[in-house]
Amino acid sequence: MYQLHIIPALKDNYIWLLENANKQVVIIDPGEAAPVLSYLKKYHLAPLAILLTHHHIDHTGGVTELKAAYPDIEAFGPSEINLQINHLENINELLIADFRYEVIPVPGHTLGHLAYYCHPYLFCGDTLFSAGCGRIFEGDHKQMLSSLNKLKQLPDDTLICAGHEYTLTNLDFTQMLVPADQVIREYYDFTCRKKITLPSILTKEKQINLFLRCEEKNLQNKFNCNNELELFAFFRSQKDIF
């Protein structure tokens, strides 16, 4: 059984560590090195590898310093990342010691964005957030919706390990759109008492994340949209100016 660690970094980023029984860890999206180096030393953890979801600096900024401190660790990520790492192209599965990661292409936030699933943990970078999803910088609405629907097919017990602490802001936006939704209101009351709201669980996200509910006809009718993609584009455009 694995143990999950979360390290707050930068303004609102999270760096994730997944530990096996031998106190070996895989580091996901180290936006900076210092807090990771301190954490590894404090808890006597041995880094095996680094996984990167996409090329933005707040997810990759610590790679070079970590590799300098631990020359034997390997780093993996999409080919859009301009660093000396192992680029993952047409690879569906990645084995690192006793870790088995499913590699899932999720274009939208960036074109090469990857997610990594190691049951029950999903490391999804800036594609899926609790109660929200990432901005569409390089892809289009159709790509992003397809990526989210791909993640939505994972088991209900999947733990969402996203790249940022955006939950309360996302829930503020959601409540503005659907103020009568009791489940969302209760989840807001629950999370507003927490400093760290992640990981969340997929079964709850299917209830409180409007970006995962665009196929619902009642929502399409409420916002005068004709289909799932039209509603997703409407939600995303409104969130961009919220």
The verdict on whether residue 56 carries a ligand-binding annotation is yes
**Tens-digit pLDDT profile for residues 19-30:** 999 999 999 999
| pLDDT at residue 231, as a whole number | 98
**pTM of the model as a whole:** 0.96
pLDDT in tens, the chain (242 residues): 899 999 999 999 999 999 999 999 999 999 999 999 999 999 999 999 999 999 999 999 999 999 999 999 999 999 999 999 999 999 999 999 999 999 999 999 999 999 999 999 999 999 999 999 999 999 999 999 999 999 999 999 999 999 999 999 999 999 999 999 999 999 999 999 899 999 999 999 999 999 999 999 999 999 999 999 999 999 999 999 99
The verdict on whether residue 87 carries a ligand-binding annotation is no
Rounded to the nearest angstrom, the gap between the alpha carbon of residue 242 and the centroid of all alpha carbons in its chain is 21
CA–CA separation, 53 and 105 (whole Å): 9
For the chain, how big is the Rg over CA atoms in Å?
18
Helices marked H in the chain — which ranges?
34-42, 57-60, 63-69, 141-152, 167-177, 182-191, 202-208, 217-222, 228-240
| pLDDT at residue 11, as a whole number | 94
Query: Within a 13 Å sphere around the CA of 219, how many CA atoms are in the beta-carbon half?
Result: 24
3-state secondary structure of 19: strand
The verdict on whether residue 119 carries a ligand-binding annotation is no
The verdict on whether residue 189 carries a ligand-binding annotation is no
**Tens-digit pLDDT profile for residues 165-193:** 999 999 999 999 999 999 999 999 999 98
The verdict on whether residue 58 carries a ligand-binding annotation is yes
Q: Which domains does the chain have, with CATH numbers?
A: 3-241 (3.60.15.10)
| pLDDT at residue 105, as a whole number | 98
**Tens-digit pLDDT profile for residues 135-162:** 999 999 999 999 999 999 999 999 999 9
Residue matched to tokens 């970590």: 66
| pLDDT at residue 193, as a whole number | 86
| pLDDT at residue 171, as a whole number | 97
